[in-house]
Structure 1
Amino acid sequence: MATPLPPFPDQGLRRVAHDAEDEHLPVWLRLMVRLAHARGGHVEVEAEHGYAGRLVAADGHSHFFKGTVFDINGAGAAALARDKDYAARFLAAAGLRVPHGLLVHAPRRRAALHLKNPGVAARLADTRAAETFARAVGYPVFVKPNEGSEGEGVSRAGDPAALDAALDQLFTLHDRVLVQRAEAGEDFRAIVLDGRVLAVFRRQPFRVTGDGKSPLSVLVASAVAGLGGGGKGTRINADDPRILGHLAASGRAPESVPADGEEVELLPNANLSTGGRAFDVTASVAPAFAGAASQAARALGLRFAGVDLIATGPDDPAPVVLEVNAGPGLSYFHRLGAREAETVERIYEGLVDALLS
């Protein structure tokens, strides 16, 4: 007798109702569904997870997406933007300021390549080259996966020991790791569509405020627990080694008690998915700042992009371009308040119109 097959997950596509109020649907998908319906189209997603799908226009033409990555950008341009080292080279060639960086290769990658092409393998930077680079540009340096996103795996190393530890940890998961000189200034995310800067947000790293009584361990645990509210989701835990390392680098320990009202920064990067905060500064952006963001997207061949910059402020005429995201998520910005929600909805309205044009 044949063994019965196990149940398979739902296959195929399902149409998302335009009036669905499913709180589990991400903000961007709810907006896309509503906007598509208003234009005579609809959205279909794969049945099991609802993460990938297509926007079907009134004329039947399909526009595909996976998460917040839409086919408004070419595959080659999106792949180039995803590779931080290659992207920085194209941005620099366009005359934009970028951090000095070094692409470092995991031992297993160099060993595997040595079997195929020893000459190329010998030229790949290793941990020793990273140490030499860091001494040349000066500590601290940032260490990050070359193709990571949402701040995952990003740390700041203040000395050779911290650099070696960060590289060893990332090499367990990544073949290529980028070491970059730390640039002074504030962190900004600009949203660009077809050369126009639609919004700019200033971002702050994850931090807690002391009450004069509670140790950092308690404050951090409470803050991390609060990040998951409202379906927000996070990529950080209270015992994340990056938090512990960042506190240690600033002379603090989990048992340290900050003064009442004292703010303590917990991470070096300002990604919202790791607890960062954001503020809409679009109205304060100077033309030169916006021009740099627009030029960054154009340099990588992207119509729609999130451009991350370091600058003294939104009026800085020469910001440093950290990286460019071909599929920027805007759900965190949508939750900031009514005005920010309207801004995000206008961005998606422009995106849908650009897709359908």
Structure 2
Amino acid sequence: MTSKKPRAGSRSRVKDRDAVIGPSSLAHHRPAFADEADQPNRQDVALECGWGKLILAHTYAQPEDVAREVQGERAGARNIAIYVRDPHVILAQAPQQLFLDPSHTFRLALQSFAMPDDVAVAYRIRRLNSMEDAEAINRIYLARQMVPADPGFLWTHRDSPNITYLVAEDPFSGAILGTVTGVDHVHAFGDPEGGSSLWCLAVDPGATMPGIGQALVCHLAEHFRLRDRAFMDLSVMHDNEQAIALYEKLGFERVPVFSIKRKNAINERLFTSPAPDDAALNIYARIIVNAARRRGVDVEILDASAGYFRLTLGGRSVTCRESLSELTTAIAMSRCQDKRVTQRILSAAGLAVPEQREADGSDDDVAFLQQHGAVVVKPSDGEQGQGISVDLRDAGEMREAIERARQFDSTVLIERYCPGQDLRIVVIGYKVVAAALRKPPVVTGDGQHSIAELIAKLSRRRAAATGGESTIPMDAETERCVRLAGYAMDAVLDEGVELAVRKTANLHTGGTLHDVTHFLHPRLCAAAVDAAKALEIPVTGLDFLVRSPALSDYVIVEANERPGLANHEPQPTAERFLDFMFPFSITRETTYAQDAETTH
């Protein structure tokens, strides 16, 4: 296996001023503005950052002015007051609207900072230089459940002396893998201490290379060091142990600095105690519960560990287990649980499904494999990708996979392997509300770490991005996929070499979701709705294999009676679920995918 070549022309779109950020180029990024010595010490400074205002509280003379500025938050934004001297005094101005942010502030002394030897060089750190970059930054914010910023704002302010936007780019694909924002305090308010700060560090949860966050932090620090700034501050949640460990490794030290925010739905979990048992809910139940409370729907947690809760509005009450509710009948649920029944019903409805047989250990199993060349083995009743082996071409491996699948269900199915992209389409109320390509976990070599180490690093990042729901199992199936590619787990991949470490794209085994709702071919939308109607299930996730979501050909391989509604950003799947549960609670116009214009 050889490294991929850089994409043709991938560097040509980068302007000279936006060259790769590094010690040799950062010196040329000193802004051509008035002499910094002439910068006045400004008062009452609040910088608009796209996601809200950064309020430099120590530039304000009156605490009530800080409180007023924090409360002046525009809808959907988040204001942060940093460098608060007397937080108790500011909180006293509006105790019902403001709260003390439970974050630590860390400071890095820049004049003694040196780029660590282990900073990854497998990607390019550069400044934002196109509207495409701005849209990618916003996509990463949404994927990490962060407050989005208007891409137009980011693009318009790309040359601001106050704010610097850096991105990490994959030099092979041109994809944006991460982003960080820096604020220059000298240009922002004539800071006599010569400081700077770091904000909005975010890495794409689907990024396959390690060390992206560290590289962004270090290059921003070097950027400000070459501007002769004295320090760089950042704020991090007190319980974010992984991030704190990184900052301390880089030389950051805690400083007694406080921040204040406004109480709103975005940061509700920071200033309220969780409702009883809420902490035990998984991400799929939590997304619905939180959306319900924001809408004024009463929530009663029945069994948090199993995901059961009751939603009540007016005289209507519905019990749910995550996205499975009383509105799904036992018949519909059983049709989805038994994959044999699912296949027969969808086939009878004229929908495309792969050929299938029940494994019985006879020569007919081998004959089925020989007929189709490659097969999938899976338990008849299973979920979360458990017990599934894909693209089996050897009779011995097929028999081993059958035995693994029997650990999850006594009935095991052998299915014709259909190559293609794994597409999940979510249908609620017989309308398509979201579609996402599911991609298997892929690691990218850096020439330093073993495949096992790369998998562990990617697994930690996937877990952090999904509330612990997505991890890559270090099991026989992962080892088989690595071995099929010609590697051992302790092998070191060359820089830039990509390796898929699972064949399945299930989120629970490390897969990633990539929204394609507005590119979905109308025939795929229609097939998903027809499948839901054939199964008589109002809320379902259909698993398709397609050449492309923009093309019409497909096969349906599975229907899920309890589809996960999390990780489908930017589609508001939980909102659409509540629209279906409580249609009289809808407060804005609802647009569904099949009603929207599609791109072919």
- Give the superposition deviation at 1:346: 3.2
* Correspondence for 1:199: 434
When residues 223 and 34 of structure 1 are mapped into structure 2, their CA distance, relative to the original with a 3 A threshold, is closer
1:320 aligns to 2:589 (yes or no): no
- Give the superposition deviation at 1:37: 4.6
In the alignment of these two chains, the number of paired residues is 312
Q: Is the 8 A contact 2:405 2:412 kept in 1?
A: yes
1:43 aligns to 2:299 (yes or no): yes
When residues 270 and 172 of structure 1 are mapped into structure 2, their CA distance, relative to the original with a 3 A threshold, is closer
* Correspondence for 2:325: 70
After superposition, residues 256-271 of structure 1 pair within 5 angstroms as 256-271=491-506
When residues 256 and 30 of structure 1 are mapped into structure 2, their CA distance, relative to the original with a 3 A threshold, is closer
* Correspondence for 2:126: none
Q: Is the 8 A contact 2:291 2:575 kept in 1?
A: no
* Correspondence for 2:376: 142
* Correspondence for 2:203: none
When residues 355 and 312 of structure 1 are mapped into structure 2, their CA distance, relative to the original with a 3 A threshold, is farther
Pick aligned residue for 1:211 from 446, 449, 454: 446
1:351 aligns to 2:580 (yes or no): yes
Q: Is the 8 A contact 2:443 2:498 kept in 1?
A: yes
- Give the superposition deviation at 1:58: 1.1
Q: Is the 8 A contact 1:155 1:268 kept in 2?
A: yes
- Give the superposition deviation at 1:130: 1.8
Q: Normalising to structure 1: TM-score of the pair?
A: 0.80
* Correspondence for 2:16: none
- Please identify the structure whose Cα radius of gyration is greater: 2
- Give the superposition deviation at 1:256: 2.7
One-letter amino acid matched to 2:418: E
Taking the aligned partners of 1:264 and 1:41, their CA distance within structure 2 comes to 45
When residues 307 and 47 of structure 1 are mapped into structure 2, their CA distance, relative to the original with a 3 A threshold, is closer
When residues 355 and 127 of structure 1 are mapped into structure 2, their CA distance, relative to the original with a 3 A threshold, is farther
Q: Is the 8 A contact 1:304 1:327 kept in 2?
A: yes
When residues 355 and 85 of structure 1 are mapped into structure 2, their CA distance, relative to the original with a 3 A threshold, is farther
- Give the superposition deviation at 1:39: 6.0
Q: Is the 8 A contact 2:323 2:563 kept in 1?
A: yes
* Correspondence for 1:14: none
- Percent identity reads 28
- Give the superposition deviation at 1:35: 4.7
Taking the aligned partners of 1:173 and 1:266, their CA distance within structure 2 comes to 22
- Give the superposition deviation at 1:350: 2.5
Taking the aligned partners of 1:346 and 1:234, their CA distance within structure 2 comes to 21
Taking the aligned partners of 2:521 and 2:456, their CA distance within structure 1 comes to 39
* Correspondence for 1:81: 336
Query: What's the CA shift string for 1:192-214, capped at 9, x where partnerless?
Result: 12221111101100111111232
One-letter amino acid matched to 1:154: I
> SS of the counterpart of 2:422?
strand
After superposition, residues 85-104 of structure 1 pair within 5 angstroms as 85-104=340-359
> SS of the counterpart of 1:211?
coil
Q: Is the 8 A contact 1:31 1:348 kept in 2?
A: no
- Give the superposition deviation at 1:341: 4.5
Query: What's the CA shift string for 1:234-264, capped at 9, x where partnerless?
Result: 4655531110011122222213332212211
Taking the aligned partners of 1:268 and 1:284, their CA distance within structure 2 comes to 24
Q: Which moved more, 1:77-86 or 1:21-30?
A: 21-30
- Give the superposition deviation at 1:309: 0.3
Pick aligned residue for 1:303 from 538, 545, 555: 538
1:151 aligns to 2:406 (yes or no): no
Q: Is the 8 A contact 2:434 2:571 kept in 1?
A: no
Taking the aligned partners of 1:318 and 1:353, their CA distance within structure 2 comes to 35
When residues 170 and 28 of structure 1 are mapped into structure 2, their CA distance, relative to the original with a 3 A threshold, is closer
Unmatched tracts of structure 1, length 5 or more:
1-17, 105-124, 334-339
Over 6 Å off, 4+ runs: none
Taking the aligned partners of 2:584 and 2:386, their CA distance within structure 1 comes to 30
Pick aligned residue for 2:485 from 222, 225, 250: 250
- Give the superposition deviation at 1:126: 3.0
* Correspondence for 1:32: 288
Q: Is the 8 A contact 2:421 2:546 kept in 1?
A: yes
When residues 280 and 128 of structure 1 are mapped into structure 2, their CA distance, relative to the original with a 3 A threshold, is same
Q: Normalising to structure 2: TM-score of the pair?
A: 0.49
Taking the aligned partners of 1:94 and 1:327, their CA distance within structure 2 comes to 22
> SS of the counterpart of 1:77?
helix
* Correspondence for 1:182: 417
* Correspondence for 1:118: none
> SS of the counterpart of 2:334?
helix
When residues 320 and 355 of structure 1 are mapped into structure 2, their CA distance, relative to the original with a 3 A threshold, is farther
Larger proportion of helix: 1
When residues 170 and 32 of structure 1 are mapped into structure 2, their CA distance, relative to the original with a 3 A threshold, is closer
Taking the aligned partners of 1:148 and 1:102, their CA distance within structure 2 comes to 16
Q: What is the alpha-carbon root mean square deviation over aligned residues?
A: 2.5
Q: Is the 8 A contact 1:186 1:203 kept in 2?
A: yes
When residues 34 and 244 of structure 1 are mapped into structure 2, their CA distance, relative to the original with a 3 A threshold, is closer
When residues 21 and 229 of structure 1 are mapped into structure 2, their CA distance, relative to the original with a 3 A threshold, is farther
Unmatched tracts of structure 2, length 5 or more:
1-267, 587-600
When residues 262 and 222 of structure 1 are mapped into structure 2, their CA distance, relative to the original with a 3 A threshold, is same
Q: Is the 8 A contact 2:377 2:402 kept in 1?
A: yes
Q: Is the 8 A contact 2:288 2:322 kept in 1?
A: no
Taking the aligned partners of 1:230 and 1:97, their CA distance within structure 2 comes to 34
* Correspondence for 1:58: 314
- Give the superposition deviation at 1:159: 0.6
> SS of the counterpart of 2:499?
strand
- Give the superposition deviation at 1:226: 2.8
